[in-house]
Every structure is written in C-alpha cells, then in structure tokens.
Structure 1
Amino acid sequence: MQKGVLLVNLGSPDSPTPKDVKPYLDEFLMDGRVIDVPPLLRNLLVRGIILNTRPKKSAKAYSKIWWDEGSPLIVISERFTKKLREHTKLPVALGMRYGSGSIKEGLQELADKNVDEVLLVPMYPHYAMSSYETVVVKAMEEQQKHFPDMKVTTMPAFYSSPEYIKVLGDSIAEGLKDFEYDHVLFSYHGIPERHIRKSDPTKFHCKIDGTCCSINSVAHHTCYRHQCYDTTELIKAYLGLPEEKVSTSFQSRLAGDPWLKPYTDYEFERFAKEGKTRLAVITPAFVSDCLETLEEIAMEGDEEFKEAGGESFKHISCLNDRDEWVSLMAKWILEWEEQAKLPV
C-alpha cells in the first residue's frame, strides 16, 4: 500500500470582501456540528438572519489581518505543508474544511499519486464537534463517496502529548522572554456548553461545574473543556509558571445560549481593574494564526484591555510553521508509517 498524509485546517474566504466572505460563512455556519440545531431552524437563522449582516462585518475584520500573499491561515498552512514535505518521503496534501482547497481535493491529490492509505491530520490540538469532529466526519464522507478503496486513519487530538507540550511550551517561553507580565491568559476558542454534553459518550459525566474535569473518565477523550484546561496545566507545569499568574478563558461566542466560561473579553476588563496591567495572551486552540488570533485577540483584545486600564498587552503567536513543530509532525508521521503508532 502507498501511504500518504492529509493535513486539514479550518479554511478561509478567498478574499476579504463581503462577496467572498458570504459563501464561506454559509458553508461554515450551515455545518450541523457548528450550529447544531434542526436544519430548518439553522437555515432560517443563518440564511435568513446572519448572512444578511455578518459578511460585511466579517469582511472588514478579515481585511485588517489579510496579508499580501492572502489569508494568513492559508498562507501559514501552505508554508507548514511545504516544510513538512521536506521532512518526509510520503506524499503530503493540504485540505480545508470550508472554502477553497477542500478535503475532497486533498484526497484527490493523494489518490493521483496512487496513495491508498491516508493519515488524516485535523490541525486542531483538542477534540470538539465543531472543529476536530467535523473534519473527521467530512473526510470519511468524501472517502466513502469518492475513494472507496482508500483506507483512512485519523490522528488523535494531541493536546496532552508530552512532545507537543514541549514544542508549544518552548514557543511560549520564547514569547514571554522579554515581556514582564502580571498575568498569562490561555484563551481558547469558545463553544456552547451543550456541545460538551453532546460529546460525552457516557451521557452523564460532564456537568461543566468545575469538578468533573478532575475526575478521570472516558468522557475526557471527547471533552473539549477538560482538554483545554489540561493543556493549560501541562504548559504551566512545563514552564514553571506561578499558579496565581495563570488562568484559562474562552473567546468567540455567539449570543443566546450559554458558552464555556469565563469569557475572554470579560477577563480582559477584570484583569485591568484588578491592577494586572501587563498581560500576555496565548491561543493554544489553534496551531495557525487566523482571524480569531490576529484580529479578535491581538488587535481587539489589546484595545479592550487598554481601554479598561491595562498598560501592556502581548499576544504570543501560534506555532505556525516553526521548525520544531514541523519536525514533531514529521516524527509522528514517520512513527505511523513504520509502526502504525500515533501521538499519545
């Protein structure tokens, strides 16, 4: 069998214009694992309300972070893929869950190279139904429909892998090196609380009350909240960060249903009012900088924190295409290729 690798990231509009943002948002928000309500209600909510106003606002946000080469997330993902190809003998393709450069196109690229055994790598450290899970489900749908003879193995969420924690921790240490901070905030992508319960295979463990995450359970394998807090604790221990200077929060919520708390923007205001005027922010839910990290945190977060009385704000970049991160992914791929071993 010829083995190959498919990396899958979120995706991006083709340009920072309402014309291109609208179809991208339509595909993204009509995903039943992103807005998990009945199809008719989702259609009414997305196409009847959100898409009438959101594309213009989102296009303005994208235009603030757009690079000459294109969308930062796409450019970074392509750079990472190019470097990874230099570290492995296997064919490596890149696909996006939404927008151009689809998962189907990525699988086709591998099939054209006679690949019939694929390692699917969702470029998300943590398991969530709106990120990791939807990538896996979409990839399997495309495989079964268009590539029935292709075998697909999925890389598990790697949020707690000691090797990953080392690479991420070293990157964070480098970002903190010349910054005298009062507090370090680990800000993760937010999801509705109901997603945590829906992802609980036991249907009773997850209570989102601050205690269930500390009780060992099979539910932790698909519990985004637990995994985020685990990453924070592991990085804190690896770097020896003071307990009182580290916390976790969640960003990017929609109005209506309760989302994971505490909310990042509320924390910005709270820290400033408590006299924590020098804040470092890390966004470990992403391996590639994107709209949520570059605009929502690095730009808007900076502004919100300083308006509340903060003085110094530093967003520490994602791993992006750091050589150490590329080398680790290449190591995982080699282990899979030779021993069918994946990160633990």
Structure 2
Amino acid sequence: MSKQGVILLNLGSPDSTEVSDVRKYLREFLMDGRVLDAPYPIRWFLVNCLILPTRPRESAEAYSEVWLDEGSPLIVTSRQQQAALAEKIDIPVGLGMRYGNPSTPDALKELLDQGVDDLFIIPMYPHYAMSSYETAVVALMDAAREMKPDLKTTLLPPFYQEPGYIDAMVERAMPSLKDGDFDKLVFSFHGIPQRHLVKGDPSHSHCLTTHDCCNTCHPAHATCYRHQCAMTVEKFVAAAKIPKDKYMITFQSRLGREPWLHPYTDKALEQLPKDGHKKVKVMCPAFTADCLETLEEIAMRGRESFLESGGEAFEQIPCLNELPAFIDFLASKVKDWQNGAYETAHATPPAYVAQK
C-alpha cells in the first residue's frame, strides 16, 4: 500500500544576513537558467563579475532590516504554514526551498525516509512563471529522478483564480479596506522580463503582440504570468467590490536594464501622490508569505518613497502567511488530490528550454 505525502515549495532565503551567506544564496539564485536565461558564459560573467562584487552587501543590509530572531521571515512563515497544514491532514508535510535551506533535495529525502512513495507537490506560487513556479518544480523532479525514479508525483496547478485563494485574500484584506479610506489599492506583483512572456508563449505569436492580449482567450494563458496576475485581480476586486478607479496593477523587483513587465511599482508609488492619490494600500498577491520583497521593498522603501513624494498614508497589507482560511484552502487541495481530482500526468509542467 502506498504512503502519501505533501511537499510545499518556495523560493528560499540566505542562511543569515552575513555577506558571505547572502553571496552564496544570490549566486545559486542568479545562476539558475530559468531566472537569468542568458547562455551560461554570459550568465556566469554577469553574475560573478557585475552583480556579486557589490550586490551581496546591499542585499545583506536589506535582509538585516527584516530579519527575525528566529531567522528569515520567509523561512519562519513557511515553517508555520507547514505546521498548520500538517495539523489539518493526516500525512507528512515537507518544506523545500528552491535556493538555500531547507533545500528541496533535503526535504524530499526526509519524506522518502518516512516511506512516502506518492507525493503531492504544492508550489506556493499562485501564478505560473519560469523563474518561480517552473524552476521550483523542475528542481524537485530532478531530485526525485535521482533519489526515487518510481516516485508517484502529482502537481497542484497554479491557483491564481481558485475561489478558496481569492476568498482568503479578501478575508486578509478586508480589515484594511472595509472603510474605503484609501485613494488607490495597488496590486504589486513580482516582475519578470517581458522576454519571459514571449518565450513562454507556445505559439510565439500572442503574448505582448496586442494591447489586450491578456484579455483575449488563448492557449498561451496557461503559462502566461501577466494574464494570471490580471485574473487574480479581476476575481479579487469583484469579490471585494472595489471600484475600477480605485485600484491598479504594478510589477516590482526588476533587475537590469531590459524591459520588464510594467508599470513599475517604484515609479507608480512616486507618481501616485502627484496625481492626487495621497492614501494608498498595497497588496502583493504573487507572494503567499511575507519576505524581503514585501517587508523591505514595499513596506519600508516603498512607503518611504511614497511619503517623500507627497503621500499621506501608506499600508502594505500582509500576505496570506498562516491565515487559517489559506491553510484550509491548501488542505482542501490535498483532499481533492486524495479523491483523484488531479491526474499524475500533470506532474511535469510545460518546461521552457533553459540555457545551460
């Protein structure tokens, strides 16, 4: 008889705020061909000669602003999510990070050592992107092929418009939104290069070819990050009854000089007060756990930039974290899997060809 298990996957974090640990983490992260998808020699030069000489110290300072006594906010919250889900279901729950610790191979080994031979994979990314959802899943599959080639695996698809996910976000946000005392609700998603959208379009003829490509039905939407972000917002504002003139979508955390998805969050936060929007609230739906990008980039630097530009009130609405409604949603997906809702053939996502 098979033994079932669940694994949660997320991005990861340095082991500490020491520059050496941050440098190690950034090297692993940026050398991933699904993050920087340039040919290996170019990627190696960019990372080792242009980024790592200065970026680790800057990032270490940023991490130190949000670091908890227990460690990285992302890891601490992810452990809490893991524990909360384990209380809801009667099978083992593992936690693996794509970069850093606890590593995906180590998390998989712990589950295999417990006898797990039927694994449900939950990427903690609501939206599909090659630099997040895909790379985390591919890394797990690589580890599984090496450790247990006959492991039965089933993958939870992106849940960007699942009612349970949307309802949990509404529940999280409503204490901040119910009085309507804000000029603009900003949905800030993690950015990706525009090139990634085109690369992920199986037809190579839809994404970014027209102004409303995300609203035109097309098979590319199955792996289109921008479309899925837009659908999350559409479902949320309908459920929360947010007027169209009171919200906007932006993208944060860009790297380098090439075009990324826009409008850019930092530029928007500088412009909003000038346009008369003095009270702003920000949500980050691409993140299911608060981390450096939400706590430091948005809640600290974003707030400072907004206020310096003439803003009067700024609030970053927390991510779902260990919100019971979100944990209940994850538990419901596990039960759906146990009832046969997902086919094991869905275990490998449509992978893009990463430059080696």
Give the TM-score normalised by structure 1.
Answer: 0.97
Does residue 287 of the first structure (1) align with residue 288 of the second (2)? yes
State the AA in 2 paired with 1:4. G
Q: Distance in 1 between matches of 2:209 and 2:96?
A: 33
Matches within 5 A, 1:9-88: 9-88=10-89
Q: Given that residues 181 and 280 in structure 1 are in contact (C-alpha distance below 8 angstroms), is that contact kept between their aligned partners in structure 2?
A: yes
Instruction: Name 2:125's counterpart in structure 1.
Output: 124
2:347 equivalent in structure 1? none
Q: Which residue of 2 aligns with 1:164?
A: 165
**Deviation (angstroms), 1:295:** 0.1
Residue type of the alignment partner of 1:2: K
Partner of 2:26, secondary structure, is helix
Indicate the residue corresponding to 1:215 in structure 2: 216
- The sequence identity of aligned pairs, in percent, is 49
Residue 324 of structure 1 deviates from its aligned partner by 0.9
Alpha-carbon distance between aligned partners in 2 of 1:15 and 1:238, rounded to the nearest angstrom: 40
> Match for residue 137 of structure 2?
136
- Aligned equivalents of 1:179 and 1:229: distance in 2? 22
SS in structure 2 of the partner of residue 185 of structure 1: strand
How far did 1:111 drift? 0.5
Stretches of structure 2 lacking an aligned partner (at least 5 in a row): 344-356
**Aligned partner letter, 1:218:** P
Q: TM-score, normalising length from structure 2?
A: 0.94
Structure 1 match to 2:253? 252
> Tell me, which stretches of 5 or more residues in structure 1 are unaligned?
none
Contact 2:190 2:253 in 1 (8 A): yes
Q: Deviations over 1:285-315 (max 9, x none)?
A: 0000000000000000000000100000000
The answer to whether residue 6 in structure 2 is matched with residue 2 in structure 1 is no
The letter of the residue matching 1:35 is: L
1:340: Cα distance to partner? 3.4
Deviations 1:29-74 (A, max 9, x none): 0000000100000000001110000000000000000011110000
Is contact 1:17–1:60 with CA below 8 Å preserved after alignment? no
Q: Give the distance between the partners of 1:282 and 1:235, measured in 2 at CA.
A: 11
Question: Do 2:154 and 2:342's aligned partners in 1 also have CA atoms closer than 8 Å?
Answer: no
Q: Tell me the SS of whatever aligns to 2:335.
A: helix
Q: What secondary structure, in the 3-state scheme, does the structure 2 residue paired with 1:46 have?
A: helix
- Mean alpha-carbon deviation: is it higher for 98-107 or for 313-322? 98-107
Provide the rounded CA distance (Å) in 2 between the counterparts of 1:239 and 1:101: 36
Amino acid at match of 1:226: H
Tell me, what secondary structure is at the counterpart of 2:186?
Answer: strand
User: Could you give the per-residue CA deviations for residues 141-187 of structure 1, whole angstroms, max 9, x where no partner exists?
Assistant: 11111211211111100001112111111211123246710110000
Residues 8 and 96, structure 1, Cα contact 8 Å, conserved in 2: yes
CA distance in 1, matches of 2:172, 2:210: 31
Give the residue type in structure 1 aligned to 2:216.
Answer: I
Cα distance in 2 between the residues matched to 1:210 and 1:147: 46
C-alpha distance in 2, partners of 1:178/1:119?
40
CA-atom RMSD in angstroms: 1.1
Residue number in structure 1 paired with 2:346: none
1:228 is matched with which residue?
A: 229
Q: How many residues are paired up?
A: 342
Structure 2 distance, partners of 1:107, 1:43, is 29
CA–CA distance in structure 2, aligned partners of residues 136 and 310 of structure 1: 41
What residue in structure 2 maps to residue 263 of structure 1? Answer: 264
Asked if 1:308 corresponds to 2:306, the answer is no
Shift of residue 319 of structure 1? Answer: 0.1
What residue is the counterpart of 2:336 in the other structure? 335
**Alignment partner of 1:180: what SS?**
coil
Question: Quick one: distance in 1 between partners of 2:176 and 2:155?
Answer: 31
- Partner Cα distance (1:75, 1:275) in 2: 38
**Kept after mapping to 2: 8 A contact 1:117/1:150:** yes
Question: Conserved in 2, the CA contact under 8 Å of 1:4 and 1:92?
Answer: yes
Contact kept? 2:66, 2:292, Cα under 8 Å:
yes
1:320 maps to amino acid = N
User: Which deviates the most, 325-334 or 61-70?
Assistant: 325-334
Structure 2 counterpart of 1:98? 99
Distance 1:123 1:208, change over 3 A: farther
Q: CA deviation at 1:208?
A: 5.6
